[in-house]
Amino acid sequence: MAIAAHGCTQPQAQLPSQSTAGAATSSSENPGKISIGFWPVAAGLPLFIAEKQGYFKDAGLDVEVVKFASANQIAESLIAGRLQGTGNGVASGALGLSEIASPGLFKIIAANPSNVDHKLEQVIVAKDSPIQSIADLNGKKFASGPGAQNLAIAQAILAKAGVSDPQVQQLEIRQHVAAIESGQIDAAYTLEPTGTVGEVKGITRVLEYGVVSKYILGNPKAPWFGGAAALSSEFIEQYPSTTKTYIEAYRRAIQDIRDNPDEVRQHLVGYTAIEGELVQKVPLVAYTLYDEFKPEDVDYFQKFFDFMSDKKVFTKQVDVASLLYKPA
């Protein structure tokens, strides 16, 4: 899960075919192929499990999972109607921007919160760096992932830690470890598995986890809903029974992660660049289904979206509660 926008080109999803869905859906519903976009990050694990373990197939659904190079590309394809939904790990900020561009576009079926315990976002430095806190980054060369959202978060973290006139350069996340090793930068705001990769290679160490929760939400244990799985509102309205069937198959995958996190990690291989010893070492985020949100969860989610509005990443406020799926 992650929120950097990569500029690589990526094949787009095919338009849904008119093949017949399985018997588990209503006889009056014929959704055909259901195309779901994903970003190849660890937070997308529920989608990978549901496909690999055959949970969608067991439910009579013809689901096609389609890899994209960035969360922005997924949002654009959702707007264009080339996708019926997204897997977890797709940036909630990118989804928020798509809601502004096309109001009522989607509903969130599950989100993936992270914090100091459920590790995703982090600041990293060189393994032997004398830097011991974010406050020590005053005057240092600092990077974030590309895009207005990453830049706004990185600047806010530095400012909250007391760094005056924070200067941040944007750099592809996959380049962060190498840039620190070469001395191009001193530190970076980045996302897993970057920190784990750097530590395994003996190049970097994590200075602090849960930085969005701590510096933007005001509590290191606050859930930062940085990514989400969604279905298009058009699909939900046209296929309400299929929607419920899809969500229950997805719920089954999330329960697998909760019950057997070490066993299901193997499904990261093939869908992401995570393999080998990283499979067992990379941290996993948590998951909150639409019907598991507590009022305080919605409040923290809204606080992040309000931050995005305050920093002019969003051109207007976006109401989180209205984006959560509600069964008919």
Distance CA 131, CA 279 (A): 29
Q: Evaluate whether residue 307 is within a structural domain.
A: yes
Q: What's the CATH code of the domain at 94?
A: 3.40.190.10
pLDDT tens, position by position, 26-37: 457 888 999 999
Do 233 and 293 sit in the same domain of this protein? yes
Q: How confident is residue 149, by pLDDT bands cut at 50, 70 and 90?
A: confident
pLDDT tens, position by position, 19-70: 333 444 545 788 899 999 998 889 999 999 999 999 999 999 999 999 998 8
Its domain, for residue 182, covers: 121-209
Q: Evaluate whether residue 79 is within a structural domain.
A: yes
Do 203 and 242 sit in the same domain of this protein? no
Q: Evaluate whether residue 126 is within a structural domain.
A: yes
Q: Given 209, 233, 260, which residue is the final one in a domain?
A: 209
Do 111 and 126 sit in the same domain of this protein? no
Q: How confident is residue 86, by pLDDT bands cut at 50, 70 and 90?
A: very high
Would you state the structure tokens that stand for residue 248, as one six-digit string?
A: 């229950």
Do 310 and 232 sit in the same domain of this protein? yes
| pLDDT of residue 8 exceeding 80 | no
Do 40 and 109 sit in the same domain of this protein? yes
Do 107 and 61 sit in the same domain of this protein? yes
Q: Given 209, 235, 254, which residue is the final one in a domain?
A: 209
Distance CA 312, CA 188 (A): 22
Quote the pTM value: 0.87
As a 3-state breakdown, the chain gives helix, strand, coil percent values, each rounded to 5, of: 40, 20, 40
| pLDDT of residue 186 exceeding 80 | yes
Task: Quote the pLDDT of residue 18.
Answer: 33
Do 229 and 298 sit in the same domain of this protein? yes
Distance CA 250, CA 248 (A): 5
Q: Is the CB of residue 133 less than 8 Å from the CB of residue 141?
A: no
Instruction: Give percent above pLDDT 90 in the chain.
Output: 80
Do 272 and 315 sit in the same domain of this protein? yes
Q: Evaluate whether residue 278 is within a structural domain.
A: yes
Q: Evaluate whether residue 14 is within a structural domain.
A: no
Q: How confident is residue 1, by pLDDT bands cut at 50, 70 and 90?
A: very low
Q: Evaluate whether residue 28 is within a structural domain.
A: no
More confident residue, 282 or 320: 320
For the chain, give the mean pLDDT: 90
Do 235 and 92 sit in the same domain of this protein? yes
Do 105 and 133 sit in the same domain of this protein? no
Name the residue with tokens 């406050």. Answer: 135
**Overall number of domains in the chain:** 2
pLDDT tens, position by position, 233-255: 999 999 999 999 999 999 999 99
Q: Evaluate whether residue 232 is within a structural domain.
A: yes
Task: Quote the pLDDT of residue 248.
Answer: 98
Angle CA(2)–CA(205)–CA(210) in degrees, nearest 5? 45
Beta strands in the chain (DSSP E): 33-38, 62-67, 85-91, 106-114, 121-126, 142-144, 168-170, 187-191, 204-209, 224-232, 288-289
Q: Is the CB of residue 220 less than 8 Å from the CB of residue 115?
A: yes
Q: Given 184, 209, 234, which residue is the final one in a domain?
A: 209
CA-wise closest residue to 198 among 116, 126, 136, 132: 126
| pLDDT of residue 145 exceeding 60 | yes
Do 229 and 103 sit in the same domain of this protein? yes
Task: Quote the pLDDT of residue 45.
Answer: 96
Task: Quote the pLDDT of residue 180.
Answer: 98
Question: Once rounded to an integer, what is the mean pLDDT over residues 159-182?
Answer: 93
Task: Quote the pLDDT of residue 137.
Answer: 96
Do 229 and 192 sit in the same domain of this protein? no
Question: Once rounded to an integer, what is the mean pLDDT over residues 87-112?
Answer: 96
Instruction: Give percent above pLDDT 70 in the chain.
Output: 92
| pLDDT of residue 77 exceeding 50 | yes
Task: Quote the pLDDT of residue 68.
Answer: 92
Task: Quote the pLDDT of residue 166.
Answer: 84
Task: Quote the pLDDT of residue 15.
Answer: 35
